[in-house]
Amino acid sequence: SSDRATGVKWPQKFTAMALSALRSVALRASARAAPRAAAPGLRPVAPVLQCQFRPYITVQKFDRDDVICKLDEYHATVMSANWADYLYLVYNVPFWEAELEKLTSIVQPYLHEPGVGEKFAEVQEMMDVLYQCEDVRDHLNELAELATRASGLMGTGYAAGEKVENMQDHAELSAVTYSKMLEKHPNFKPKIEQTVGHGLAILRAKHKFKFPSMHRYFF
C-alpha cells in the first residue's frame, strides 16, 4: 500500500495495525451508544403492601378453667370501674379492648359449652352497654356544659354563650334512650343509673324536663 499524495509506500503490517486500531475504536463507540439492559438482580422491586391491622396469633393453650378464670377477672375489672368517669375510661378502654381481643381468641374452643358460652355472651353484652352508656353520658355532659355557658358568668348573664334552641328535644330523646336501655339490659341497671341516670339528673338541674327516675336523684 502507498500514500497517493506523497508516493510513499507503507508496509502491510502497519496497515493491519491501523485497521485493527480503528476497528477497536469503532466497537467502543458503538458499545457506549447502545443502551444497557438492567441486570436482573438490580431491577427495582415493587413496594410490598403494608398490613393495615395487627392480627393476634398465639400458640399458647388454655384449658377450660383458665378461660373461665380470665373471663371472670375481665368481667369484674370492667364492672367495678366507674363508668361515669370519662377520663378513667379514656385511659383504660383501649387496654380493655385489647384484652377482649385476646379473650375472643382463646375462648373459641369452649364456646359450645354452656358455662363458657354464657359467660362470654355476658362479657360481650357488658361491653355493648358500656359503649352505649359512654356515648349517652358524653352527650349529656356536652348539653350541660352548653347550658352552663348560656347562663353567663356565675349565672349573671354576663358574656353568655348561645343557648341550645332544641334542648327539650335532646333531653326527651336522652330520657327515651335511658328507658330503652333499662328495659333491654336489666342486669346492668346499676351501671346505667351510674352513667345515664346521673347525667340526666345533672342536666335536669339546668333544664327542667321529666324522666322515669328523676325523683331518685332528689329532684
- Tell me the whole-structure pTM to 2 decimals: 0.68
Positive or negative, the CA dihedral 33, 39, 42, 46 is positive
What are the pLDDT tens digits along the chain (219 aa)? 444 545 545 556 556 666 676 676 666 666 555 555 554 554 555 555 455 555 545 556 778 889 999 999 999 999 999 999 989 999 999 999 999 999 999 998 888 888 899 999 999 999 999 999 999 999 999 999 998 888 877 777 777 788 888 999 999 999 999 999 999 999 999 999 999 999 999 998 888 888 877 777 665
Any idea which residue has 354563650 for its cell? 161
Q: E strand or H helix at 174, and its extent?
A: helix 167-184
Could you give the residue ranges of the DSSP H alpha helices within 6-63?
12-33
**Contact assessment for residue 185 and residue 178, using Cβ atoms and an 8 Å cutoff:** no
